[in-house]
Structures are given as C-alpha cells and as structure tokens.
Amino acid sequence: MGRRKKGQDVHGWVLLDKPLDMTSTQAVSAVRRLFDAKKAGHAGTLDPLATGMLPIALGEATKTVPLAQDATKTYRFTIRWGVSTDTLDAEGAETATSDVRPDAEAIRDALSDFVGDIEQIPPKYSAIKIDGERAYDLARAGAEVEIAARPVHIERLELIETPSPDEAVFEMDCGKGTYVRAIARDLSAKLGTEGHIFRLRRTAVGVFEESAAISLDELADLAHKGRAFEGLAPVETALDDIPALAVTGEEVSHLRQGRSIVLLPRIAQELRAQRRPRDLSGKDGSRMAVAMHGEMAVALGDAQAGKFVPSRVFNHSI
C-alpha cells in the first residue's frame, strides 16, 4: 500500500496578493501549510520581484488550473530607462547604459508594434527548458543561451504615466507565455535606449481580479483565529466565464462515472448562445462547458453533437 498523503481535503482558490521577494513555489507552500491542505498548485508563475495576483488552487480546484493559466493576464509595470541588466529587471547586473530618455509621445508611437500577435524571444533568465536544462540555470553557469522567438498575444499595452524622465508606467493585457521583461528589452531597443523592469505587479488573471486578493499576512491572521476558510474562494470561481449546464442528480451520477449525458436540443442551443469573454469552441464544433448541480461544479467537458462529454470530474461533495 502506498503512503497516504498528509493533510486535509481542502478545495478552493486562494487569490493571493504575492509579496515582494517570494517565489511562487514558496507562496504555494506557505498557503498549503496554513490550510494543512493535501494538494496545491498555482496558476501562472510570478518572479520574486513581482507582486500581485497569484491564484493558488487547493484540492479539486487544481483541476481548473489549466483554464486559469490560459486566461488573459493584466500587468502594471514600470520601465526604468538608461540601464539594461542581464536579467532584464532590477535584480540583475548592469550590462549597458544610455543617455537617451524617450518622451511620452515617442513611447506611445512605438507601442503599436507590441500589440496583437507578435514574436517574442523569452529572457535567458527564464524557466524555459533547453536540452532538458532550465534557461536560468544555464545563464547562471555562464553558458551561452539561445532561445527561439515564439508567438504571443498582447491585447492591450498602454502608457499610463511618466513620473520622471527616467521612468514610465504601463498597463498590459496579454495571453499565456508573454514575458513583461522581454517587453522592456524590446521596447527600449525600439526607442534607441536601454531599459529594464523596475517594478512589476499582476493585477488580474482571467476572472481573478486584484480587488478580491488577500495578503499572506491577512490569511495567516485568519488561520491563527481558526477562520482560514474565509480566505478561500469556491472551486467554481475559476469557471465564471465558461458556459454552464444545469444537470440533475441522476446526471451527476453518470458524469461522476465518466459517462456522457444527452443534451436536449433546446439546452444545446442555449449553450451555443451563451456569450463569454473567452472563445472556448473546439475545431470540431464542440464547446467547453461546466456541468452544474445547483451551485456546485460537477464536471468540465465538451458539448458536441447533442451530448455533454466530461473531461474533468470534480469529486468534492454536493
């Protein structure tokens, strides 16, 4: 017999406002300890020098992590002009300097090249694997690191303010795999100067918004008072922008066994008509949906050809 995992069956999301100088892995470990949870994971890494929204999934919520990872993310960041670093942020060693300080008009004129579907070369100090090794490990060892450009999508990139000639503040909505540090590198080059990320904060991950975030100190205080669950959002929180299908108790049993259920034509039409921020349609005409029994998510799956076929089943109580 295998050893039973230690901890409690805790299910839900902690929308953590990650503090400065903490890795995402350390944040997950801290939250897991506060809840004594068996299982935990996060939806999208934040660098130690970044703060803000780090959605942490506990228990059955980990089954919805891929959806959160694929969601649009919003960042607010400051570029400091005049100095480039090897890590492209304030933590790195200086690599080049420039006396050029772009003005607001020049910055805004350059931003259009960074919106839409673009090609981006990730930073050499990143977690991308090269021949089985992490790029940042190779870079720290002094090896030459070459990473191929890859497509990313940037929905919005705006200059918010220029508090001084040396700094500019931006907001960006972007898709999965976008590196803010690479934006600083490439925008600086476009403007004929050097630059690096001086401050970085993630304000939203899909449906998870900054206004709902809780700090680690606040969560620890709740845990100390025996009220940690007040800082836990339901598993269903990550599914708010996915078409919902109401199911009966009998259908719950079928889905829990991994069996598909038949959709009435009217229900199938209603699912197709639901408008959501994300396009969740498959190439085969299927559409992702979540089966709901009251307020409880039962399964994620695809609605296709008059059936709902479960792909992930939730096992928390109903």
pLDDT (tens digit per residue) in 53-83: 999 999 999 999 998 989 999 999 999 999 9
Neighbour-count burial for 35-58, b at 16+ CB within 10 Å, e otherwise: bebbbbbbbbebbbbbbbbbbbbb
Q: What is the pLDDT of residue 124?
A: 81
Q: What is the pLDDT of residue 147?
A: 81
Q: What is the pLDDT of residue 24?
A: 93
Give backbone dihedrals phi and psi of 12, rounded to 5 degrees, phi first.
150, -175
* Alpha-carbon separation of residue 56 from 49, 150, 163 (angstroms): 18, 27, 33
Number of helices followed by number of strands (H, E) in the chain: 8, 19
* Residue 283 vs residue 217, higher pLDDT: 217
Pick the closest to residue 303 from 268, 275, 257 (CA basis): 268
Convert the pLDDT of each residue in 170-216 to its tens digit.
999 999 999 999 999 999 999 999 999 999 999 999 999 999 999 99
Convert the pLDDT of each residue in 221-252 to its tens digit.
999 999 999 999 999 999 988 888 889 999 99
CA distance 120 to 186: 9
Q: What is the pLDDT of residue 133?
A: 74
Pick the closest to residue 62 from 17, 14, 22 (CA basis): 14
Q: What is the pLDDT of residue 1?
A: 45
Q: Residue 12: left if φ>0, alpha if ψ -120 to 50, beta else—which one?
A: left
Q: Which uninterrupted H or E stretch holds 272?
A: helix 265-273
CA distance 289 to 272: 10
**Which of 18-27, 217-226, 266-275 is predicted least confidently?**
266-275
Are 159 and 108 spatial neighbours (Cβ–Cβ below 8 Å)? yes
- Mean pLDDT of the residues in the chain: 89
Q: Does the pLDDT at position 276 exceed 60?
A: no
pTM for the complete prediction?
0.88
All structural domains of the chain: 12-71+208-237 (3.30.2350.10), 73-205 (3.30.2350.10), 241-313 (2.30.130.60)
Ranges of beta strands (E only) in the chain are 12-18, 40-42, 50-58, 73-81, 83-85, 94-97, 116-120, 129-130, 133-134, 150-164, 167-174, 195-205, 208-209, 214-215, 244-246, 261-262, 287-293, 296-304, 307-313
Question: Distance between the two ends of the chain, CA-based, in angstroms?
Answer: 29
**Which of 8-22, 123-137, 255-269, 296-310 is predicted least confidently?**
123-137
Residue % of the chain over a pLDDT of 70: 91
pLDDT band, residue 5 (cuts 50/70/90)? low
**Max mean pLDDT range (85-99, 139-153, 251-265):** 85-99
**Annotated active-site positions, please?**
47
